[in-house]
Amino acid sequence: MNTFAPPVQRLVTELSKLPGVGNRTAHRLAFHILRASGDDAAALANAILEVKQKIGLCEVCFNLADEARCRICQDPRRDHSTICVVEEPSDVIPLERTHEFHGVYHVLGGALSPIDGVDPEDLKIAELLTRVEDAAGAVHEVILATNPTTTGEATALHIAGELHQRSPQLVITRLASGLPVGADLEYADEVTLGKALAHRQAV
Amino acid sequence: MNTFAPPVQRLVTELSKLPGVGNRTAHRLAFHILRASGDDAAALANAILEVKQKIGLCEVCFNLADEARCRICQDPRRDHSTICVVEEPSDVIPLERTHEFHGVYHVLGGALSPIDGVDPEDLKIAELLTRVEDAAGAVHEVILATNPTTTGEATALHIAGELHQRSPQLVITRLASGLPVGADLEYADEVTLGKALAHRQAV
């Protein structure tokens, strides 16, 4: 149904490609952009173009960066002896939001999933091993913060094996699994509850 | 918290200005754009710029148009003797989706709301009156499809009065109010149910 002129249709089509944006939301966003000032629309368009031009991956941790190294790797106040390994750059945000972690990151770029054709050499695993080895003992702990899913667990296990083989003195940890804060036992799934029980802690 | 490089922060800021997009959704959209191909991101940015450059208002009905007249006003198969008056260009979509309306539109650009400083001269009301008069009897019906809200009702009443004064023979109608299809009486608000009762129809 071509009610609207081609430029509007094109904008709706492009907006619909965004995650979680269906046809109706795309229409709503398009009308917002049509009502917005020319400057606001240009700012959005330029931000999209700029991010693709300027953003690359950090040469150390493979997080997003607009320079050779990302802001976290450049920060001398961070604890460079603790590396937190995550799947995606987007996983860094929730970890930073906790304000509990002061080390540095290593972004794998995904999780091992042979069924989808993701093998160890498709992730930044070799780079992590080299990074730990090159630090010559300066890295004390590697926290494996891949997702608590089948692929995330497999990735963590694989990396733990490789690291342990090369640096037996390295502390290798995994994020705790258990009940989310504020959860209700009645509605907890049995796998999570099982983990919470198995890893119960002394009060 | 500036975890990410300025271009990423800027994109998140610009995306957060879209309606219904909070900080988390903006991050999700930004990461999608970062993962997308350069071509896809450029297509989105260009669609935003193009829509602001090329889209104006139809000289007849004030709907969105990339030419002097919109596609509906240009269409000889549409019934130009029936004009449906709506508040915004976005109201045209749901009406077209019904496939029940084959006439043309008149987009007011809002609804009367003295409290917000929206007076009759801020809307395309004079243009509607001129349009009906210039048609010299060729317009048979005007459907007032403003929203069933206080401001929409006030706008419809105002326009109905003006039209009736100038063209007493013109048929002026309003969209029916009543229960939405699939609704449950138990959960209907009393105003809607009152309307549904008052305008009950013979079976």
Q: How far is B119 from chain A (nearest CA, A)?
A: 19
Instruction: Please report the pLDDT score of residue B58 as a whole number.
Output: 93
Whether residues B48 and A47 touch (CB distance < 8 A) is answered with: no
Give the Å distances, CA to CA, from B155 to B108, B109, B149.
Answer: 10, 11, 10
Instruction: Please report the pLDDT score of residue A97 as a whole number.
Output: 86
Which one of A23, A44, A87 makes the best mutation probe of the B interface by having the most chain B beta carbons within 10 Å? A44
Instruction: Specify the fold of B6-54.
Output: Helicase, Ruva Protein; domain 3 (1.10.8)
Q: How far is B56 from chain A (nearest CA, A)?
A: 9
Give the Å distances, CA to CA, from B143 to A195, B75, B78, B92, B168.
Answer: 63, 19, 15, 13, 15
Considering only CB atoms, B8 lies closest to which of A2, A45, A51, namely A51
| Minimum CA–CA partner of B105 in chain A | A3
User: ipTM of the predicted structure?
Assistant: 0.75
Residue A60, burial from CB neighbour count under 10 angstroms (0-12, 13-18, 19+): buried
Q: Is the predicted pLDDT of residue B202 greater than 80, yes or no?
A: no
Chain B residues touching residue A13 (CB < 8 angstroms):
47
Distance separating alpha carbons of residues A104 and A78, to the nearest angstrom: 7
Instruction: Please report the pLDDT score of residue B144 as a whole number.
Output: 93
Contact of A82 with A135, CB cutoff 8 Å: no
Relative to beta strand A171-174, strand B103-107 is unpaired
Whether residues B25 and A20 touch (CB distance < 8 A) is answered with: yes
Q: Amino acid letter at A64?
A: L
Q: How far is A131 from chain B (nearest CA, A)?
A: 22
| Minimum CA–CA partner of B33 in chain A | A48
CA dihedral A177, B30, B28, A66 (to 10 degrees): 10
Highest mean pLDDT among A176-185, A192-201, B23-32, B172-181: B23-32
Q: Amino acid letter at B129?
A: L
The whole model's pTM is what? 0.74
Angle at B96 between CA B95 and CA B98, to 5 degrees: 70
Q: Is the predicted pLDDT of residue A36 greater than 50, yes or no?
A: yes
C-alpha atoms less than 13 angstroms from C-alpha of B58 in its C-beta half-sphere: 25
Chain B residues touching residue A68 (CB < 8 angstroms):
none
Minimum mean pLDDT range among A198-202, B107-111, B123-127: A198-202
Whether residues B44 and A93 touch (CB distance < 8 A) is answered with: no
Domain B78-174: top CATH class: alpha beta
Q: Which helix (H) or strand (E) holds B86?
A: strand B79-86
B123-176 residue pLDDT tens: 999 999 999 999 888 999 999 999 988 999 999 999 999 999 998 889 999 988
Domain boundaries, chain B: 6-54, 78-174
Rounded average pLDDT over A146-153: 91
Q: How far is B41 from chain A (nearest CA, A)?
A: 7
B35-91 residue pLDDT tens: 888 899 999 999 999 999 999 999 999 999 989 999 999 999 999 999 999 999 989
A-B CB pairs within 8 A amount to 166
Distance separating alpha carbons of residues A142 and A10, to the nearest angstrom: 47
Whether residues A33 and B46 touch (CB distance < 8 A) is answered with: no
More confident residue, A152 or B136: A152
Distance separating alpha carbons of residues A193 and B74, to the nearest angstrom: 64
Whether residues B18 and A32 touch (CB distance < 8 A) is answered with: yes
Mean pLDDT over each residue of chain A, to the nearest integer: 90
User: Across the strands, what pairs with B172?
Assistant: B142
Instruction: Please report the pLDDT score of residue B2 as a whole number.
Output: 61
Q: What is the CA radius of gyration of chain A?
A: 22
CA dihedral B129, B130, B133, B138 (to 10 degrees): -90
Instruction: Please report the pLDDT score of residue A163 as a whole number.
Output: 93
Rounded average pLDDT over A145-165: 92
Distance separating alpha carbons of residues A45 and A6, to the nearest angstrom: 18
Considering only CB atoms, B3 lies closest to which of A7, A14, A93, namely A93
Whether residues B11 and A48 touch (CB distance < 8 A) is answered with: yes
Instruction: Decide if B6-54 and B78-174 have a common fold.
Output: no
Rounded average pLDDT over A142-159: 92
Which one of A3, A61, A77 makes the best mutation probe of the B interface by having the most chain B beta carbons within 10 Å? A3
Which one of A13, A33, A51 makes the best mutation probe of the B interface by having the most chain B beta carbons within 10 Å? A51
SS3 of chain A: the string is: CCCCCHHHHHHHHHHHCCCCCCHHHHHHHHHHHHHCCHHHHHHHHHHHHHHHHHCEECCCCCCEECCCCCHHHHCCCCEEEEEEEECCHHHHHHHHHCCCCCEEEEECCCCCEHHHCECHHHCCHHHHHHHHHHCCCCCCEEEECCCCCHHHHHHHHHHHHHHHHHCCCCEEEECCCCCCCCCCHHHCCHHHHHHHHHCCCCC
Rounded average pLDDT over A29-33: 92
How many other CB atoms are found less than 10 A from the CB of residue B57?
A: 16
Contact of A170 with A142, CB cutoff 8 Å: yes
Q: Is the predicted pLDDT of residue A69 greater than 70, yes or no?
A: yes
3-state class (DSSP) for residue B105: strand
Instruction: Please report the pLDDT score of residue A2 as a whole number.
Output: 61
Q: In the structure, what pLDDT confidence band is assigned to residue A180 with cuts at 50, 70 and 90?
A: confident
Instruction: Please report the pLDDT score of residue B1 as a whole number.
Output: 47
Chain B residues touching residue A11 (CB < 8 angstroms):
47-48, 50-51
A88-142 residue pLDDT tens: 998 998 888 888 899 999 999 999 998 999 999 999 999 999 999 998 889 999 9
Distance separating alpha carbons of residues A152 and A149, to the nearest angstrom: 5
Q: How far is B63 from chain A (nearest CA, A)?
A: 9
Backbone angles phi and psi of A104, in degrees to 5: -115, 175
Chain A residues touching residue B73 (CB < 8 angstroms):
none
